[in-house]
Structure 1
Amino acid sequence: MCGIAGYFELGSPTPPDKDLVRRMVGSIRHRGPDEFGAFFDNRCALGHARLSIIDLAGGSQPLSNEDGSLWITYNGEIYNYLELRKELEASHHYFRTRSDTEVIVHAFEEWGAKCLDRFNGQFAFAIYDSRDGSLFLARDRLGIRPLFYTQHGGRFYFGSEIKALFAEPSILRQIDLKGLDETFTWWTTAPPRTAFMGINELPAASYLKIQNGKYNTKSYWDLEYPETYNRQRSAASWAEELHELLVDSVRLRLRADVPVGAYLSGGLDSSATTSLIRHFTDTRVETFSIAFHDKAYDESKYQQQMSDYLGTRHHQIKCSYRDIAEVFPAVIRHAERPILRTAPAPLYLLSKLVRDHEFKVVLTGEGSDEMLGGYDIFKETLIRRFWARNPDSAWRPLLLKRLYPTLPLSAARARFYLETFYKAGLEQIDEFHFSHIPRINTTSKVKDYFTKDVQAELTDYDPLKAFKRDLPNQFYSWHHLARAQYLEAKSLLAGYILSSQGDRMGSAHAVEGRFPFLDHRIAEFATTVPPLYKIHGLNEKFVLKKAMARELPPEITKRVKQPYMAPDSNSFVQEDSPQYVSEMLSEESLVKTGLFNPLFVQKLRDKCSRLSHAHLSFKDNMSFLGVLSTQLLVDQFINNPPEVNIIDRKKFKVWHDQSIEAAEQHRG
């Protein structure tokens, strides 16, 4: 985990703006507080904030090849760097460090953009080639590490976070209404769009090259599902291969020159990764988890059971409503987008706990649900398709009972609500987003709180098309579960799970998350697993449970899945809630922002104050969080942006100036 930033002149070479680079790096210093570095010439400037994990002494950045013609600034990890290094040394590349950063530089020299196909890792980097005056930016296959860019005033700016771009004061700070519309449809924007006008996100599995004042973006990888599956192969065989891949993925992700811990939620995924760590160490694994004062969300009993079973040294943080509310502004400052749940807030506190215990790296279980069919949305898709094709079937209520075994189906209101919810969009069974219609309908409720002016501005915009435009040609020939999984990976995984809950909450306290389930080999393998072995009946992640049966107790593999959630609107309507909540939702603040109807918002706030979470709908909770997070976003990035923390020149370990001005000074 590091932070990268810089700019590239699209026109004639100019003297470098060194103060700007110091501001850009200062704005993201939380990502890499260990070292700072910069490179300049008259066309390009590269900045770096380092979190030292591999080659602590020699891995400083920016870093060059042997002759100084290629310079890189890089965030992430190339887990197979040792194997690639051997291959490159055999091709007569000379290495001066033990870092994975230098492997990227030489791999780019040797293979060009094709080097991306060889990397097993999570990364975002920029390579400047002074020989042909080009800049090459790339991002990992699944979008684990972020990368943003914009063009302004004859320059191309880039950075790990949007804050780095806004370190240039002349860049426009304005909310993109279409970005809001997409967020309040999909939970995220569709790259390259972001929540800010003119600020772009490099899509996952893409690279961008600038040369001769022009740039274009290309995709180098995608999830590809087959039209037919190997149904002759046994479940045991699929499970065995998955187990082997997971073991090797964990092995690679333990490569570090610092201690590695693990998140342990008490569920299947984190238990699996933590269990597999023990294959490679005799040291007692240190694990970290979240507990809640509100018992409706608390899983600490299962976390402790799993810690005892695995023999880990366990650390836990317990979150109250007040804790969540207090850190929520910081969560939005780091997320740089509106969010619809408070789930990132406890993860922000958890990464602080990790850092307080002097850990920089943790393994986590993200990605398993998306790759192996773990979410309810996938099972709901199967049920809704059955409903659509069998409208009079007596199995309908029985399927609900199986999907939600704790649901009191005798309660007519609850049963009516669910039937109404899952009937939504049944006539759209062949639409690309059929699987996501119930979620989209719930999320879109936030838009009811827009002002009439905002609604009028968005009348002709269809946010559904945001993710439709880049669907693969063969998408409609895939199994309906594959379609749902693909859409989930492209929207929620990359745009929310790995961003607002992943990279951003970890980097806030300089903690790097590593995700064994998101090894591209596992992602590619998972596309070939027959749907029957992902969801067996309504038993989710069947193949993973079978793969881990030898490693984990039945209490974990057979436990009913409980999705990670945190208290939402309840966190902000208590008597001791922070003052900013009233300020952000006041009529004055809402009018100033100009996005939401103050009267409607006040009614929503009154409703949330009056009812407990057990009686509030998902729509009301999401609407409250959507409004509050957007208000905070506008306040912190547009109306009252904080002063940029410029880093003193003396604190830069690397300061490599190849500008004409520096050369003349040196000669003088």
Structure 2
Amino acid sequence: MCGIAGIYNYQSSKEPSTEGIVKNMLSLIKHRGPDESGILQDSNVGMGSVRLSIIDLTSGQQPMSDQSGRYWIVYNGEIFNYTELRSELITKGVRFKTTSDTEVVVQMYATYGADCLKYFNGQFAFCIWDRNKKELFLARDRVGIRPLFYWHQNNSFAFCSEIKGLLSLEHVERSLDEESLSQIFTYWTTLTPKTPFKGIFELQPGHYMHVSSRGIQINKYWSLDYTSTKEPIVKNLSDSIEELDNLLDDAVKIRLKADVPVGAYLSGGLDSSVTTSYIKKIEPNVLNTFSIGFSEKAYDESGYQSEAANFFNTNHIAFSCTSEELAGSFAQTIWHTEFPILRTSPIPMFLLSKKVRENNIKVVITGEGADEFFGGYNIFKETKIRRFWASQPNSKIRPKLLTKLYPYIPLVKDAPEISLKMFFGYKLSETENPAYSHLLRWNNTSRLKSFFSDDIISSQNSNSSPGALKALPDGFARWSGLAKAQYLEATIFMSGYLLSSQGDRMAMGNSVEGRYPFLDHRLIEFSSKLPDNFKLNCLNEKFILKKLSVGKIPASITNRSKQAYRAPVSTSLYNFKTPDHFNDFLSDESIISYGIFNLKKVKTFLAKLEQQDTISEIDQMALVGILSTQMLYKMFIKEPITPNSGELKNCRIINSLKSD
């Protein structure tokens, strides 16, 4: 796993040195690759990488070329089927000088061009320089596990694994994008390709791009498709379970490929327990597992974590996180997310990956993706109940089903009928709205935008209102209600928030690579063809996965109710032990100076919090959103980004390549 960066002055007749520019960018993302670094400078292009050595530790240095020397690659990720692809290329006469997957990627591109992407099973973001065409080729994995950001202006193009690298460039404007802020305070993330910063974009998952003097061309090579959910391929449940078992077994097996030890997260839930069961089956030797608990019992799952660790007999490392530790790591978390956040959930993930690294583990296997693709989230149940309720809107009984979904939210669990109807009845009858499943969530979150300053509010447009989505896939209107909800959850929330702010950035902030068997594209495509009731059976979530888990994991974990992953908020961020710098970010001076939020509304809100013993869900989100946005502004806009290229480790420079 690595971090990559580069710059291309594609209309320049000069050959300016790009080495220093690329070094500066790489120095800001060196946490992604602390083991070594390298830079290629060729004509008016420069690109480089910082490397976290996992496969082929001795000869996998980047940048790397194909056997002809025409194509050069910098690469972040893993191709899990690289050994099979390598064997196929050898039969075509390709000669390899390393055993790394990096070389397989560049040789595949040399052989197949952009079509190489359809052969890859992995998580990746890479850039290939074609010396003959003077063209860059950049690509990103199917669901956006690995990041890739870019900027272009005045015939210059730059890319980086993280936004902070681009913000170090002299000509990049450093300002927040008002529409992006509005999207974050609605969808929890921006709608790709936008980011929180003006002029900086994200290459969308499942896309690739060509960059040359002719301009920039972006194409899609893969997308999530639920076309068959209305009339799924008829299979009985037992056959489907067997196929899922085989797919998951192989997905885990290929993700265990590494020349370093591999660990696993063990949360105490179904998904991580299932993946751990396959690891133990495939490699029955000692497995290092990691979990985090909370001193606040309402959020703690330590009991289930210990039960799973004992069941699998793993070398389990568990620790508990206090509210003070959460607060103390908030600013560092925002430095790595590069996005405002509305929940504190990324902070424990940062602390967990730190614990992993302290135990000399570079790779962890986790259970992300199971909820999205096998119907695990409460939002899927909520949508089903709302559609059921909408068919008889005057029913007094149907809304009461909603009280079973959120036992951890007292205001819902104990709500009277009138309150349920007022809260969950938002646009109840608009069942034909393509975003029906998420209208309620997005409407509730968008209430946070009322805290914005008048200038921010006046700059917003209709594209940032709840449900104002860009083009949806062909045939989306014919998909089942569950399929539509799954698509929105996977392409917006999972890709834009879960795999970034809570996933890649938190793990790579501590030089740890996460691997996700449930995000194997074969498993995703398999799940998309299953009948809905194999995933959400009545209100029983992840039905087929639970059936698969019987006998593989403790029965208490198979049968336990779904518990959303959450972390303490109010006790962490706003109490008598709150760090002093939090008050600085929320001070009158900072609120006025940054110009993002309305001072009067923020002061009224903070005064209300001081008078309350408990804080509502929406107020918790407001507190985290305001504080994280203020932090983001200071870190990336108000204060200069300060690279330190002298800290790059073992930096190898390849200078002035010329055509043969």
Checking the alignment, whether the CA contact within 8 Å between 1:5 and 1:46 is kept in structure 2 is yes
Give the structure 2 partner of residue 315 of structure 1.
317
- 1:525-575 Cα distance to aligned partner (Å, 9 max, x none): 010011111111100000111112131121011100101000123311121
Contact 1:451–1:596 under 8 Å retained in 2 = yes
Worse-matched range after superposition: 536-545 or 210-219: 210-219
Deviations 1:463-512 (A, max 9, x none): 4466x323112000000100000011110000000000000000100000
1:173 Cα deviation from its structure 2 partner: 0.3
**Mapped contact 1:16–1:659 kept (Cα < 8 A):** no
Q: Matches of residues 176-575 of structure 1 in structure 2 within 5 Å?
A: 176-227=177-228, 228-230=230-232, 232-404=234-406, 413=415, 415-464=417-466, 468-575=469-576
Please give the secondary structure, in 1, of the residue aligned with 2:296.
coil
Q: Which residue of 2 aligns with 1:27?
A: 28
Deviation (angstroms), 1:17: 2.1
How far the C-alpha of 1:416 sits from its partner, in A, is: 4.1
Q: Which moved more, 1:286-295 or 1:651-660?
A: 651-660
- The percent of aligned pairs where both chains have the same amino acid is 45
For residue 604 of structure 1, report the CA deviation from its aligned partner.
Answer: 1.7
Q: Which residue of 2 aligns with 1:666?
A: none
Q: TM-score, normalised by structure 2?
A: 0.97
Letter in 1 for 2:638: N
What are the ranges of 5 or more consecutive residues in structure 1 without an aligned counterpart? 664-668
Deviations 1:38-77 (A, max 9, x none): 0001121111000000000011101011221110000000
> 1:280 offset after TM fit, Å?
1.7
Give the 3 Å change call, closer, same or farther, for CA 71–410 of structure 1 in structure 2: closer
CA distance in 1, matches of 2:92, 2:591: 62
2:653 aligned to which of 648, 652, 655 = 655
Kindly indicate whether the alpha-carbon contact (under 8 Å) linking 1:184 and 1:444 is maintained by their aligned counterparts in 2: yes
Change (3 A) 1:211 1:405: closer
Partner of 1:640: 639
Residues of 1 paired with 2:388 and 2:412: CA distance? 22
- SS of the counterpart of 2:316? strand
Shift of 1:35: 0.3
Contact (CA 8 Å) 1:570, 1:608: kept in 2 or not?
no
Task: Report the CA distance shift for 1:314/1:416 in structure 2 as closer, same or farther (over 3 A).
Answer: farther
Deviation at 1:443, TM superposition (A): 1.0
Q: What's the offset of the Cα at 1:659?
A: 5.2
What amino acid maps onto 1:582 in structure 2? N
Q: Is the 8 A contact 1:8 1:45 kept in 2?
A: yes
Larger deviation, residues 392-401 vs 382-391: 392-401
Segments of structure 2 that go 5 or more residues without pairing to the other structure are none
Distance 2:251 2:311 in 1: 22
Give the Å deviation of 1:417: 3.5
CA deviation string 1:283-337 (max 9, x = no partner): 1111001110111100001100110011111112211111111111111111011
For 1:418 and 1:393, the matched residues in 2 are separated by 12
Corresponding residue SS for 1:426: coil
Q: Structure 2 counterpart of 1:104, which letter?
A: V
The separation in 2 between residues aligned to 1:410 and 1:366, in whole angstroms, is 27
Per-residue CA distance 1:100-121 (angstroms, 9 max, x = gap)? 0000011001111000000000
Q: Shift of the alpha carbon at 1:413?
A: 4.2
Give the residue type in structure 2 aligned to 1:237: D
- Matched letter for residue 57 of structure 2: L
Equivalent-residue separation in structure 1 for 2:233 and 2:33 (angstroms):
48
Contact 2:22-2:46 within 8 A present in 1 as well = yes
Residues 61-210 of structure 1: matches in 2 within 5 Å?
Answer: 61-210=62-211
Q: Give the direction of change, closer, same or farther, for the CA distance of 1:31–1:334 in structure 2 (3 Å limit).
A: same
Does residue 12 of the first structure (1) align with residue 12 of the second (2)?
A: yes
AA aligned to 1:12 is: S
Partner deviation per Cα, 1:452-473 (whole Å, 9 max, x = no partner): 221111155444466x323112
Q: Which amino acid aligns with 1:49?
A: V
- Is the 2:262–2:364 contact (alpha carbons within 8 Å) kept by the matching residues of 1? yes
Q: Give the conservation status (yes or no) of the 8 Å contact 2:2–2:75.
A: yes
| 1-structure distance, mates of 2:276, 2:656 | 47
Give the residue type in structure 1 aligned to 2:4.
I
CA apart distance, 1:408:
7.5
**Partners of 2:349 and 2:502 within 8 A in 1:** yes
Q: Residues of 1 paired with 2:350 and 2:610: CA distance?
A: 25
- 1:36 is paired with a residue whose SS is strand
> What is the alpha-carbon distance in structure 2 between the residues aligned to residue 407 and residue 21 of structure 1?
48
Amino acid of the structure 2 residue aligned with 1:486: Y
Partner residue of 1:598? Answer: 599
Q: Is the 8 A contact 2:546 2:558 kept in 1?
A: yes
TM-score between the two structures when normalised by the length of structure 1: 0.96
- 1:408/1:494 CA distance change after superposition, 3 Å: closer
Provide Cα deviations, 1:379-413, integer angstroms capped at 9, x if missing partner.
00000101111112343144234435688899864
Partners in 1 of 2:552 and 2:215 — Cα distance? 53
**2: CA distance between counterparts of 1:194 and 1:409?**
34
Q: Aligned residue for 1:2?
A: 2
Matched residue SS, 2:84: helix
Could you say if the C-alpha distance between residues 410 and 50 of structure 1 is closer, same or farther in structure 2, counting changes exceeding 3 Å? Answer: closer
Give the partner amino acid of 1:458: Q
Residues 409, 325 of structure 1: CA spacing in aligned structure 2 closer, same or farther, 3 A cutoff? Answer: closer
- The answer (yes or no) to whether the contact 2:206–2:223 under 8 Å persists in 1 is yes
Given the superposition, is the C-alpha separation of residues 410 and 85 from structure 1 closer, same or farther in structure 2, using an over 3 Å criterion? closer
Matched residues in 2 for 1:470 and 1:255: separation? 38
For the residue of structure 2 that corresponds to 1:318, the secondary structure is strand
Flag the 1:126–1:279 CA change in 2: closer, same or farther, 3 A: same
- Contact 1:22/1:648 (<8 A) preserved: no
Q: Give the direction of change, closer, same or farther, for the CA distance of 1:299–1:416 in structure 2 (3 Å limit).
A: farther
Count of matched residue positions in the alignment of Structure 1 and Structure 2: 658
How big is the shift at 1:155?
Answer: 1.1
Q: CA deviation at 1:445?
A: 1.6
Q: Is the 8 A contact 1:38 1:652 kept in 2?
A: no
In 1, distance between residues paired with 2:461 and 2:222? 35
Q: Determine the C-alpha separation between the residues in 1 that align with 2:647 and 2:235.
A: 61
SS in structure 1 of the partner of residue 12 of structure 2:
coil
Matching residue's letter, 1:257: D
Q: Which amino acid aligns with 2:636?
A: F
Contact in 2 for aligned 1:258/1:360 (Cα 8 Å): yes
Cα distance in 1, alignment partners of residues 259 and 579 from structure 2: 41
Structure-1 separation of matches of 2:646 and 2:28: 9
User: Matched residues in 1 for 2:477 and 2:218: separation?
Assistant: 25
1:409-446, CA deviations, whole angstroms, 9 ceiling, x for partnerless residues?
99864554433221111132111111001211221121
SS in 2 for 1:428: coil
Distance 1:542 1:260 in 2: 29
Distance between the aligned counterparts of 2:408 and 2:165, measured in 1? Answer: 47
Deviation of residue 616 (structure 1)? 2.1
The structural deviation recorded for 1:600 is 1.1
Calculate the aligned-residue CA RMSD, in Å: 1.9
- Could you tell me how far apart the structure 2 residues matched to 1:442 and 1:410 are? 14
AA of the residue aligned to 1:521: R
- Cα displacement (A) at 1:87: 0.3
Sort the Cα spacing of 1:412 and 1:353 in 2 relative to 1 into closer, same or farther, 3 A.
closer
Q: Is the 8 A contact 1:401 1:407 kept in 2?
A: no
- Check 1:460–1:522 CA distance in 2 against 1; reply closer, same or farther (3 A cut): closer
Following superposition, the deviation at residue 232 of structure 1 comes to 4.2
Alpha-carbon contact 1:291-1:319 (below 8 Å) kept? yes
Q: Secondary structure at the match of 2:646?
A: coil
3-state SS of the aligned residue for 1:37?
A: strand
For residue 624 of structure 2, what is the amino acid of its counterpart?
L
